[in-house]
Amino acid sequence: MGALAGRTALVTGASRGIGRGIAERLGRDGARVGVHYGRNEAAAKETVAAIEAAGGSAFAIGVELGLPGDAEALWEEFDRHADGVDVLVNNAGIGTSSALGQIDEEEYDRVFAVNVKAPHFIVKRGLGRLRDGGRVINISSGLARTAAMPDLMAYSMTKGALDVFTRDLSKVLGPRGITVNSVAPGIIDTDNTAELLHGTEGGWAQAAALSALGRVGETADVADVVAFLASDGGRWVTGSWVDATGGSLT
């Protein structure tokens, strides 16, 4: 029996990258996993298939975030597959933003709608579905606390807002035994960082040098931290910001 046997998880943005790694790990731990995706249905089905091939159970939910009514639509789709959730991972997000001199109001509003507003209302609309003793895990970023990267200012601001949400939500949900934490990755090898790591000369070496461990992170490095917080072993950790940057902030 896995650590999450009999529990249901929902991971937003789980069709690829860090989200897929988290979904697959929670599936291996025994959870039935809702694999949310925005547009790439084929990728989400691949994630579901991978979970099932490893002996787990999963289902796909397709709802584009950042639009009016997105949270309600997501839960309506979820309700077709499950009657409650034990682990909610707010992972979906826009992973970049234009610099101050280039960003316009439309892009600014979009990145905040997906990265901040969506998780806020997904939780709000999901309170009746989230079981007592459950887990909420928000995927933040090392950029919320590390040295400034002004070219990603708006993106970094969204993650700072998400961390405040984590802190305050832990007090709201604590009486129900629900823990709430932020997990902050550094540079992880995904399609979102492909240009930096693989398309830039010396990019991989520069990224590896940022970590105290001297390597670039993998999705499993983040997924394993999330899995701990989702398990009974993480029961006494709440309201925390967990550094999963491989020592990039030291």
Residues carrying an active site annotation: 155
Residue 6: DSSP 8-state: T
Q: Where are the beta strands (DSSP E) in the chain?
A: 8-11, 32-37, 57-62, 85-90, 130-139, 179-185, 240-244
Determine contact, residues 130/178, Cβ cutoff 8 Å: yes
- Eight-state DSSP code of residue 38: S
∠ CA 217-4-177, nearest 5°, is: 100
DSSP characters over 62-119: E--SSSTTHHHHHHHHHHTT-S-EEEEEE---------TTT--HHHHHHHHIIIIIHH
The continuous run of DSSP H or E covering 20 comes out as helix 17-28
Estimate to the nearest angstrom the gap between the alpha carbon of 200 and the chain centroid.
Answer: 26
Residue type, 206: Q
List phi, psi (to 5°) of 208. Answer: -65, -35
